[in-house]
Structure 1
Amino acid sequence: MKRPGKALLRGLLGLSLLGLVVALTDPARVAAQLRQAQPGWLLVGLLAAMASNIVSALRWRALARWLGAEVGWLDACRWYFQAMGLNALLPGAVVGGDLYRAMALRRAGQDTAAAGWSVVLDRVSGLWMLCAMGGLGAAACADVLAPWLRLPAGAFAMLMVAGTLLWLALPWALPLLLRWSPARLQGAWLVPLREAVERPDFRRQWMGQALASAAVQVLSAAALAAGGMALGVVLPALVWAWAMAPVFLMAALPLSVGGWGTREAAAVAALAPFGVAAPAAVGVGMIYGLYGLAQGALGALALGLPRGAPR
């Protein structure tokens, strides 16, 4: 199957999944949940989501400059929000937007490898921190989650904490992994990354990335929680710290358009143990998806429509 056909198929699969999830949870109840959404909490959630992505754009800029690709903060924000608009509209979840950011840097005259690695490592650092915070949130919610897995709460919590600590330690082993990688992988495409991790400021740079990624995830969890509050879903902060991991990870899979369908299905599964009804959980996922659409539109209007980056 040709690429346009695959993209269309992914889009149809995602929309079909969204339709199936809504149908199984009763469309009338989902619509009723969305109609009762409180505007104040919706605005709080949108502002938190926007703040999260501004921090993400600045994190990407810092990483790109560290790798040798110069980019101004305004360009970084413009390209990041343009990429969000593409992510919300094109099949493939975050893939289209990430390619756009890399191409924007390249067309601005920056090194191809550095541009590509800046986007890859930026995405990886975000997913790394998302999984870590989700693991800690799961450990904190062990009393509720462990019975669903038929595990003792104490053992479940210890497993989550141990796994999260090992996960957090992985980036610090990157220099050794690159040094010991097979010769066939030592191509020119690895040169910018190898040179970067051998620099004396590698640990300081990665610590900055970790702190920025933590801020991004805290703000994203706040946006998700505010969307829940708008629908009357009131849960402790640690529950949202756990729930955001499966919700955001499923939304990032290249199986749909803008994460629609996979995000809502994950919200139902993640929030069910805490007594959240399926229509309300679907509503929470849809509101977060609408935040992405709104930011893509606002970014296009305020910062310029997607276009070729200046040479």
Structure 2
Amino acid sequence: MVWLRVVLAPALLLGVLWVVDLEGVGRQLRGADPGWITVALAFSVAANFVSAWRWRSLVHWLGHRAALSRVFSLYLQGMALSSLLPGAMVGGDLYRAVGLRRDGAGTWPAGASVLLDRLSGLWMLWVLSAGAAAWAWTSGAQEALVNVGMAGQGRWLPLAMALFLLVVPITIICAGRWLPNQGRLSKLTGLMTRRGITAEFCRQVLGSAIVQLLSVAALACGGKALGLDVPFWVYVVTAAPIFLMAALPVSFGGWGTREAAAVVSLAPFGVAAPSAVAVALLYGIVALPQAMVGLVLLVMHRRREPFGSA
């Protein structure tokens, strides 16, 4: 229920801050280095720009031509709605699909582009997380990884996970060529056999890898701003649960769920709870200016085209 989310979303964030020592979090934020925060903002902007490029690539592949400036504008407007409405990124994603539909894209291509765009990012996030864990094990970080439940598995568990995640979409694409192209499966099989799917898959791999590494860099800059001495690979490993929890449709823009996940994920690597919460808060804070730009674009669009008009 929407009203329940409206109540629970801020309560969740306040609860996390209260449990982990609100005063301690405040001290961390007051002492944050503005220079590193600025760098984090730059990485965040770059990540969202590449995200818009990745989405545009999908839109073009699905048959709708759209300018990058228009797609980036819709992306920022979606960010604004995700930050203002309960439901995290769900509301913003729905708005993006509707925006494409109003621009002339078909209902199926518009919705499929947003869904595939979101899945592409989440998939690559877990690939990088598992790959970073495997690499860290071979680089002498066994003790830290044992603390997160990898005892006795060595580097093979995360390496196997990374390879499995890489193989899954390739297997699905190949299997689609033998699925019956009829009934409810027709659109799905048509998607997997669409011309240029191999090239588009490669573009999604590249774009999603860049997006996630830039996003992790923004998260790591938040840690640098607080003076934390944490290796970059730790942020890559922990970004998967942190970003995934932020995407759950139970909060405003991931506030609260992201901070709770940061506490749990960073604790095994020696990061105190107030510092972990402060890192997650800084990551959310650097996204706010972009959301505000998106809000301005949204208001301007609504003035030109009132809600409900064709």
User: Could you tell me the TM-score, scaled by structure 2's length?
Assistant: 0.90
Q: Unaligned regions of 5+ residues in structure 2, if any? A: none
Q: 1:136 to 1:75 in 2, by over 3 A?
A: same
Deviation sequence 1:161-201 (CA, Å, 0-9, x none): 111101111111223444437965325xx2xx533432442
- Alignment partner of 1:38 is 2:68: no
More divergent stretch after superposition (129-138 vs 50-59): 129-138
Structure 2 counterpart of 1:105, which letter?
Answer: L
From 270, 276, 293, the equivalent of 2:271 is: 276
**Percent of aligned pairs with the same residue?**
44
In structure 1, distance between residues paired with 2:247 and 2:207: 20
Q: 8 Å contact 1:63–1:118 — kept in the other structure? A: yes
In structure 2, distance between residues paired with 1:56 and 1:194: 26
From 51, 75, 79, the equivalent of 1:80 is: 75
In structure 2, distance between residues paired with 1:305 and 1:273: 46
CA-CA distance at 1:12 after TM superposition: 2.4
Report SS of the residue matched to 1:238.
helix
Q: 8 Å contact 1:34–1:231 — kept in the other structure? A: yes
In structure 2, distance between residues paired with 1:81 and 1:268: 28
In structure 2, distance between residues paired with 1:182 and 1:195: 7
In structure 2, distance between residues paired with 1:89 and 1:200: 38
- Alignment partner of 1:256 is 2:251: yes
Structure 2 counterpart of 1:158, which letter?
Answer: W
Deviation sequence 1:106-156 (CA, Å, 0-9, x none): 01111110011000000010001011111112333441122342722xx14
More divergent stretch after superposition (121-130 vs 301-310): 301-310
- Alignment partner of 1:180 is 2:150: no
In structure 2, distance between residues paired with 1:181 and 1:26: 57
Report SS of the residue matched to 1:137.
helix
Listed as ranges, the matches of 1:151-170 within 5 Å are 151-152=151-152, 155-170=153-168
Listed as ranges, the matches of 1:44-83 within 5 Å are 44-83=39-78
Report SS of the residue matched to 1:159.
helix
Q: Which residue of 2 aligns with 1:3?
A: none
Q: 1:112 to 1:237 in 2, by over 3 A?
A: same
Structure 1 counterpart of 2:184, which letter?
Answer: L
How many residue pairs match? The answer is 300
- Alignment partner of 1:16 is 2:14: no
CA-CA distance at 1:245 after TM superposition: 0.8
RMSD (Å) for aligned C-alpha atoms = 2.1
From 125, 131, 148, the equivalent of 2:126 is: 131
Structure 1 counterpart of 2:185, which letter?
Answer: Q
In structure 1, distance between residues paired with 2:79 and 2:182: 37
In structure 1, distance between residues paired with 2:301 and 2:156: 47
In structure 2, distance between residues paired with 1:256 and 1:182: 39
In structure 1, distance between residues paired with 2:11 and 2:110: 35
Structure 1 counterpart of 2:133, which letter?
Answer: A
CA-CA distance at 1:217 after TM superposition: 0.4
Q: 1:150 to 1:78 in 2, by over 3 A?
A: closer
